[in-house]
Structure 1
Amino acid sequence: MLIIGLLFFPLQTTTGWILISLLGISLLVASFITYYGSDGSDQMSMLIVITLILCHMPDLAGSKLREVGLWFIGLQACLSYTVAGIAKLVSSEWRSGTAVRDVFSTKAYGSKQASQFLQKYPAANGFLCWNVIIMETLFPLCLFLPWEYAMVFLIWGFIFHFFTALIMGLNSFFWAFMATYPAIYLINHEMPWHLF
């Protein structure tokens, strides 16, 4: 309901700021009462909401503060991808090309069909593992590349999170990380120089 309200009241308005603040409070309360630990999508969602609350406070937030908040969100997303990519790079399971199959074989995040497919085609498992390692590690390049090349990383991220949601049921990762892509777009378009 709060998110629907934000469609009608921009964050720059007092009502919009109250709605995003209520959303932040509800996320905070949910994080305290949930039985299970939070994951990266919960942390990213909380970070985005807190940044929006702080950067859109009535009478305090100017356009420069809002821009700093968007830069923070975009840079945090790139950092999250890179840290995840480096963590996978140092993991022998990811480097050997077995990690994706192993995850799909679990009860919590598994998919019988995906697991069977990767058992039958081990090369696909290796491809998926290295695809994730490379794209996550190099993701910050999207800030510096010309937009037509930077879009490759954002399209990859969309596909990655979409299929993660579809196969593993991790829907919140899709929404949390897609919410950072407009900030990445802004940073890319405000960069004073690009690599090419």
Structure 2
Amino acid sequence: MSLDDAIRLTEILLAVALIQQSLEHLVGLPDERPHYAIRLVLAVLLMVGVSPPWICAALFVNALVILRRFQGPYNGGSDLLSLLLITALFAVHLMPSARYQEYVFGYLALQVIFSYFKSGLSKVVHADWRSGRALRDVFLFSVYPVSEATRRWAERPRLLCAMSWAVVLLELLFPLALIAQPVLIAALAAMFAFHGANFVLFGFNRFVWVWLAAYPSLIWLQARLEPLW
């Protein structure tokens, strides 16, 4: 995947994620609706390819306004990644040459890799994650509107322990996926399935599209680095 193709694909997928977020907020509080109505229009324009440099600049300003409105990324990881993607694309279009664009886009990919690794590291140091108790508590006491069938997963400690270790190891070993393209594709498919499972089980719908939008940068970086191995 060329750098230009990876940037364009990132723009399209990010636009989809921002459209989803914006539609949710259009039925929110009156003072937040205008910000997300603007984001919705900008995301549609970005998706169809209307002046991406200017649209990314406008999205960056819009993101800063929304940060001020909520006093930070109120929705946690998905908002942080959205802001990272918007900022990276804005910076990419500011760069004077393809070489500097590579630096910015590579930084985006490394941040995504580090976020997965850091998430795994933060889990493995806690005994509750190593034993599966943390997942048990998630299923048992989740405040999200999950089904009774989902809550009954808390009654299967061995399965939850295996699931905990599967998630932890996948996140910790994710940086090794850069070794070869087939390994990276498999790792990305596994992580996408993980985000999809969180959506199905707990309704974490924002993570699915925004994380998918970060994947082209990883595919590009792996192809860029593979000749060095």
TM-score grouping bracket, smaller chain normalisation: 0.7 to 0.9
The Cα RMSD (Å) is 1.9
C-alpha distance in 2 between matches for 1:152 and 1:77: 16
What is the identity, as a one-letter code, of the residue corresponding to 2:76?
A: D
Partner of 1:86: 121
Q: Are 1:101 and 2:136 counterparts?
A: yes
1:155 to 189, 198, 205: 189
How much has 1:76 moved relative to structure 2?
A: 0.4
Partner of 1:169: 203
Instruction: Indicate how the Cα distance of structure 1 residues 136 and 86 shifts in structure 2: closer, same or farther if over 3 A, else same.
Output: same
Partner of 1:117: 153
Partner of 2:68: 32
What is the identity, as a one-letter code, of the residue corresponding to 1:24?
A: F
What is the identity, as a one-letter code, of the residue corresponding to 2:52?
A: G
| Higher helix residue share | 2
How much has 1:27 moved relative to structure 2?
A: 2.3
1:182 to 216, 221, 228: 216
C-alpha distance in 2 between matches for 1:104 and 1:32: 34
Stretch moving more, 109-118 or 79-88? 109-118
Partner of 1:134: 169
C-alpha distance in 2 between matches for 1:105 and 1:37: 25
How much has 1:172 moved relative to structure 2?
A: 1.9
C-alpha distance in 2 between matches for 1:72 and 1:109: 34
What is the identity, as a one-letter code, of the residue corresponding to 1:2?
A: L
Runs of 4+ that moved beyond 4 A: none
Instruction: Indicate how the Cα distance of structure 1 residues 89 and 170 shifts in structure 2: closer, same or farther if over 3 A, else same.
Output: same
Conserved 8 A contact 1:41-1:173:
yes
Partner of 1:23: 59
C-alpha distance in 2 between matches for 1:9 and 1:37: 29
Q: Tell me how many residue pairs correspond in the alignment.
A: 186
In structure 1, the gaps of 5 or more residues are none
How much has 1:80 moved relative to structure 2?
A: 0.2
Instruction: Indicate how the Cα distance of structure 1 residues 50 and 139 shifts in structure 2: closer, same or farther if over 3 A, else same.
Output: same
1:112-135 deviations in whole A, cap 9, x for unaligned?
32221231x222111111111000
| Structure showing greater relative contact order (alpha-carbon pairs closer than 8 Å, 6 or more residues apart) | 2
How much has 1:110 moved relative to structure 2?
A: 5.8
TM-score by length of 2: 0.74
1:68-111 deviations in whole A, cap 9, x for unaligned?
22211111011000011000000111011121221122343462
C-alpha distance in 2 between matches for 1:33 and 1:39: 15
Conserved 8 A contact 2:140-2:154:
no
Conserved 8 A contact 2:137-2:154:
no
TM-score by length of 1: 0.86
C-alpha distance in 2 between matches for 1:109 and 1:76: 29
